[in-house]
Amino acid sequence: MNVSATDRERLPGLLKAMPKAELHIHIEGSLEPELIFALARRNGVKLACDSVEALRRAYAFTDLQSFLDIYYAGASVLLTEQDFHDMAMAYFARAAADNVVHAELFFDPQTHTDRGVPFKTVIDGLTRACDAAHHEYGISTALIMCFLRHLSEEAAFATLEEALPYRGRYIGVGLDSGERGNPPEKFARVFARCRELGLHLVAHAGEEGPPDYIRSALDVLKVERIDHGVRCVEDPALMQRLAAERIPLTVCPLSNVKLRVYEDMSRHRIGALLDAGICATVNSDDPAYFGGYLNENFRATFDALPQLGISQAHKLASNSYAASFVEPSRKREWQSELDALFERP
Ligand code: ADE
Ligand code: ZN
């Protein structure tokens, strides 16, 4: 469908102003090089790069693993509760500027506990920042703890054990890190336990891994949302199922280009996902590494894909509320605000 000239003019302003929920942001992926250096100095941590510019130059990724190596090295500067707080507050300032009204943040406890940082330090710093985000910016927040899939299921169980005393501070669990060779089935038992505990369940699948990983995340792990999931386009029956069962996909366009899932943004298939009736959303994944926060993801996507116009912008914002883990009354409030914004001449 072609987008009219008037719609094209209104689009940039609407994309910026729309209230949005961000559902796929790794808080460790919001660590900007400047903050990495400031925290390294504060904590006496030695870094492999000797300047912010050299670090930025190293952000030339060839695939997911080449990114993860740098991302885990960046996270090594996080040692104290204040560090986790400061990192999350820097993200919330950016999120507020992008009209994010709700954020569900991933964090990777094992990246920190394996370096000797107590789980309590991580969760206390993040919880304090979440409370401050609500007071300072009116953003509602939730935390989702991810298990690293390149580690064992036993290690995930040990992390769950450490996290249980803080059960009220996070709403669910996810699965991230290197996808290839680490299928969802590897974590069947720990996800079953988390389900018994009443936690929300999500998993990265179909980012680099095949469409079958999306199927097993649904059938074996019983997740409620798929993170990324873009490779479902290779499997029309799976696309139909995602649409029919209203399984949201948290899509991250700039990440997909930086990690070479797509050669460039003009090849992104988010339009096809929406056309198929899938509840796709736009998210930033690791914004400090991939070239932009949420509004920049919207801008880059809509600039590169001429078939996306006002109705897709409205749909993506609506999907972000629908896919969030908040109560229906809050979703309705955001929806009314969005509808009013789009109805204005
Ligand atoms: N951890 C941080 N970002 C990730 C991504 N895009 N995929 C898998 N694991 C991640
Ligand atoms: Zn991710």
pLDDT digits (tens, 9 = 90+) for 26-71: 999 999 999 999 999 999 999 999 999 999 999 999 999 999 999 9
Nearest atom (ligand 1) to Cα of 177: 9
Please work out whether the CB of residue 29 comes within 6 Å of at least one atom of ligand 1. yes
Report the SS3 class of residue 110. Answer: helix
* pLDDT tens column, 260-271: 999 999 999 999
Please work out whether the CB of residue 207 comes within 6 Å of at least one atom of ligand 1. yes
| Residue 96 tokens, joined | 């507020």
Atom 8 of ligand 1, residue of closest alpha carbon: 177
Please work out whether the CB of residue 177 comes within 6 Å of at least one atom of ligand 1. yes
Domains and CATH numbers, the chain: 5-343 (3.20.20.140)
Please work out whether the CB of residue 227 comes within 6 Å of at least one atom of ligand 1. no
Please work out whether the CB of residue 81 comes within 6 Å of at least one atom of ligand 1. no
* pLDDT tens column, 292-337: 999 999 999 999 999 999 999 999 999 999 999 999 999 999 999 9
Task: Write down the pLDDT at residue 2.
Answer: 55
Task: Write down the pLDDT at residue 6.
Answer: 77
**Whole-number average pLDDT of the chain:** 97
Best of 105, 286, 289 to mutate for ligand 1, by most ligand atoms within 8 A of CB? 286
Best of 148, 176, 231 to mutate for ligand 1, by most ligand atoms within 8 A of CB? 176
Please work out whether the CB of residue 250 comes within 6 Å of at least one atom of ligand 1. no
User: Residue 16's Cα: distance from chain center in Å?
Assistant: 19
Nearest atom (ligand 1) to Cα of 176: 9
Task: Write down the pLDDT at residue 28.
Answer: 98
- Measured in angstroms, how far is the CA atom of residue 7 from the centroid of ligand 2? 31
| Helix boundaries (H) for the chain | 5-17, 33-43, 52-57, 64-75, 81-97, 109-113, 119-137, 153-163, 188-196, 211-219, 236-244, 253-258, 270-275, 287-290, 294-304, 310-322, 328-343
What amino acid positions are annotated as catalytic residues? 207
Please work out whether the CB of residue 287 comes within 6 Å of at least one atom of ligand 1. no
Atom 10 of ligand 1, residue of closest alpha carbon: 177
- Measured in angstroms, how far is the CA atom of residue 331 from the centroid of ligand 2? 23
Task: Write down the pLDDT at residue 271.
Answer: 98
- Measured in angstroms, how far is the CA atom of residue 8 from the centroid of ligand 2? 30
Q: State yes or no: pLDDT of 1 exceeds 60.
A: no
* pLDDT tens column, 100-149: 999 999 999 999 999 999 999 999 999 999 999 999 999 999 999 999 99
Torsion, Cα 33 68 139 169, to 10 degrees, reads -120
